[in-house]
Structure 1
Amino acid sequence: MKTTRLGPDGPEVSQFGIGAMSFAGLYGDATVEESHAVLDACRNAGVTHIDTANVYGNGRSEEIIGSWFAANPAARDEMALATKAGITRDPKRRFNNDAEHLEASLDQSLERLGVDHVDLFYVHRYDRAHSPEEVAGSLKRLIDSGKTKAVGFSEIAPSTLRRASSECPIAAVQSEYSLSTRAPELGLVQTCAELGTTLVAFSPVGRAFLTDDPFSFERAQSMAFTKSNPRFIEPNYTANISATDRLRALATEIGEPTAALAIAWLISRGDHVLPIPGTKNTAHLAELVRGTEITLSEDALDEIDKALPVGWAHGDRYNATQWEGPERFC
């Protein structure tokens, strides 16, 4: 398993993490048994980073991870554990970065997880009622309290990262990044590298488009997030399946799972890029982990770029409602 450092001075972790939204998230809940099986398989494969959030299943994902740690107490010292807060269910204030709110949310997460600290605590959505420096100051106080070892932000612009970093070291920035979403290459990948910040890439297999078994249109229409997402609405859905068929054909030619190619491609973007795919299926996990075991040749990387050149995807990655919160910077 390839490794990377979580932030400029953080622990060495696997350059691959498990995103635990799939345990209780946008694509249907997993059972406790399925989730524990995935975590067991991650541990056996040398995966040492778990990523969750307080809003995933309204705390259910954290509770599932907590129950796994309770059943496997030695695993806690082996894993770098991350969670997030800052998204609320208050329709009048969807995002809240008040210092008191962040600390209270972290306290609740620690209780669900059954731990006394996390290794990384993110602001899930930046609240523009505060300056980046002010939010970073609040996060620094959480480090000082011992409740988290490091802090990060999700879905922010490079300029926000620079401002926050002037107040407190930012160990990680989480952003959607894959062969189908390459906007981070327009500044975020570079700024993270410059500052020593880990770029944690969620949805690294393009919400299943970059796999051997993409969501059917019917299944996509049965899930709250994808049924209104531009890339899963016709005619974009059919166009995206047709486009990604080229990657599946290339994967067959190379003799690797399509998801493995997508993960290996991301890891090739830089030692500081850490993909966190989510799954509730151990067989799919094995395909994803395979991406950490292969090194793509320059010829293979060129063929991947020919199959899916920058800008190939049909439709925006979010609809108007889904875009509320993430910072656009280009």
Structure 2
Amino acid sequence: MKKRQLGAGGPEVSAIGLGCLSFGGTFGSTTDAESLRCLDAAWDMGIDFLDTANIYGMGRSEAVISEWLRTRKHRPKIATKASFVTAPERRVDNSEAHLRAELEGSLKRLGVEQVELFYIHRHEKGRPIEEVAGTLGRLVEEGKIGGYGMSEIAPYTLRRAHAVHPCRAVQNEYSLWTRQPELGLVQECARLGVAFVPFSPLARGVFGRVVFDPADPDAGSFRKEIPRFIEPDWSANRARVEAFRAWVHARGWSVPAVALAWLLAKGEHVIPIPGTRTAENVLDWRGADDLVLTAEDLAEIERLLPVGWAQGDRYNDEQAGTVERYS
């Protein structure tokens, strides 16, 4: 697989990474053995950039990666995250004490002495980002992390943090049905030399081999609470998706590969991290880094899925409560 640089001064990683949220069971039941096969398939394809977090399965995702590292002896670049406190109530904590403690927990679960990238999972409202960047900068200087990143932030937060200590990556939702990062964030990352890492690049299963079915009893509850998957929004969205899928299949292409190729074409600093529970789904991404979409292809995709086409919000009100908004 082709390589891309993980931010200015960062290492080269595979142009497509692997999101490991599903290893914790968020999107349906799974087993550790299935997750290990998924990791093997990704590695065999050339994917060497893994993305996890302390709360993915409450440590289960990191533990599975640790087992894979121990038994396979591979050395991928690993990103993990911290900030969420889940009890007694869910909140965001960017304090130095919390981030340090959670990072130490992640390193222990992963069985490594350093992670290549450590994100704040969300920016804590009311805490100056300059303070947080200072904390993260010290972790870099101490060798605990190779670099730091931020997730679900606005361009102004990136500028302020980067001025204190260079940020390596920003991770926000971005796909053919979530286009907000085009309103300045993708561009600001390019200007500052920061990698932009789209999560949910396959729209939470919408652009998978088969379309995610909200009625599937083994699909997990998270997506079923998202307005875009709830009627009447879902029927309207599915009609658009099916037209796009028909066009892709007529070209003899894989829907997931085209969705990823569309993102890769947005800039050399863009590194999408699709997530899955299965090795079979990983195989659907083959060739995405080599797929060149012509100007005519991009125009047709824009006609089928124009900016703003998705009906309904990408989060419900509770899920969106910790996300920085901008326009």
- TM tier, shorter chain? over 0.9
Where 1:288 maps in the other structure, the secondary structure is coil
Comparing 211-220 with 313-322, greater Cα deviation is found at 211-220
Q: Which residue of 1 is the match for residue 280 of structure 2?
A: 283
Q: 1:130 aligns with which of 127, 131, 139?
A: 127
Pairwise CA distance, 1:93: 6.0
Pairwise CA distance, 1:307: 1.0
Residues 206-228 of structure 1: CA deviation (Å, up to 9, x unaligned): 11112331122312795221222
Code of the aligned partner of 1:234: E
Query: Per the alignment, do residues 308 and 60 of structure 1 end up closer, same or farther by CA in structure 2, a change over 3 Å counting?
Result: same
Assess if the C-alpha contact under 8 Å between 1:220 and 1:227 holds in 2: no
Code of the aligned partner of 1:283: E
Q: 2:225 aligns with which of 218, 223, 228?
A: 228
What TM-score do you get using the length of structure 2 for normalisation?
0.97
Assess if the C-alpha contact under 8 Å between 1:14 and 1:48 holds in 2: yes
Assess if the C-alpha contact under 8 Å between 1:62 and 1:113 holds in 2: yes
In the alignment, is residue 316 of structure 1 matched against residue 313 of structure 2? yes
Query: Per the alignment, do residues 221 and 315 of structure 1 end up closer, same or farther by CA in structure 2, a change over 3 Å counting?
Result: farther
1:162-241 to structure 2, matched below 5 A, reads: 162-219=159-216, 223-241=220-238
Matched residues in 1 for 2:29 and 2:321: separation?
24
Runs of 4+ in 1 over 2 A off after TM superposition: 90-93, 220-223
Query: Per the alignment, do residues 221 and 286 of structure 1 end up closer, same or farther by CA in structure 2, a change over 3 Å counting?
Result: closer
In the alignment, is residue 7 of structure 1 matched against residue 4 of structure 2? no
Query: Per the alignment, do residues 298 and 136 of structure 1 end up closer, same or farther by CA in structure 2, a change over 3 Å counting?
Result: same
Code of the aligned partner of 1:55: I
What TM-score do you get using the length of structure 1 for normalisation?
0.96
Q: Which residue of 2 is the match for residue 292 of structure 1?
A: 289
Assess if the C-alpha contact under 8 Å between 2:50 and 2:78 holds in 1: yes
Q: Which residue of 1 is the match for residue 53 of structure 2?
A: 53
Assess if the C-alpha contact under 8 Å between 2:29 and 2:218 holds in 1: no
1:137-148 to structure 2, matched below 5 A, reads: 137-148=134-145
Where 1:285 maps in the other structure, the secondary structure is helix
Pairwise CA distance, 1:288: 1.8
Assess if the C-alpha contact under 8 Å between 2:264 and 2:272 holds in 1: yes
CA RMSD of aligned residues (A): 1.3
Q: Which residue of 2 is the match for residue 118 of structure 1?
A: 115
Where 1:104 maps in the other structure, the secondary structure is helix
Q: 2:323 aligns with which of 288, 304, 326?
A: 326
Pairwise CA distance, 1:92: 4.9
In the alignment, is residue 152 of structure 1 matched against residue 152 of structure 2? no
Q: Which residue of 2 is the match for residue 161 of structure 1?
A: 158
User: Structure 2: 5+ residue runs without aligned partners?
Assistant: none
Pairwise CA distance, 1:202: 0.4
Matched residues in 1 for 2:211 and 2:183: separation?
27
User: Structure 1: 5+ residue runs without aligned partners?
Assistant: none
- The count of residues paired between Structure 1 and Structure 2 equals 327
Where 2:216 maps in the other structure, the secondary structure is helix
Assess if the C-alpha contact under 8 Å between 2:94 and 2:123 holds in 1: yes
In the alignment, is residue 263 of structure 1 matched against residue 260 of structure 2? yes
Comparing 90-99 with 120-129, greater Cα deviation is found at 90-99
Pairwise CA distance, 1:242: 0.7
Matched residues in 1 for 2:243 and 2:251: separation?
12
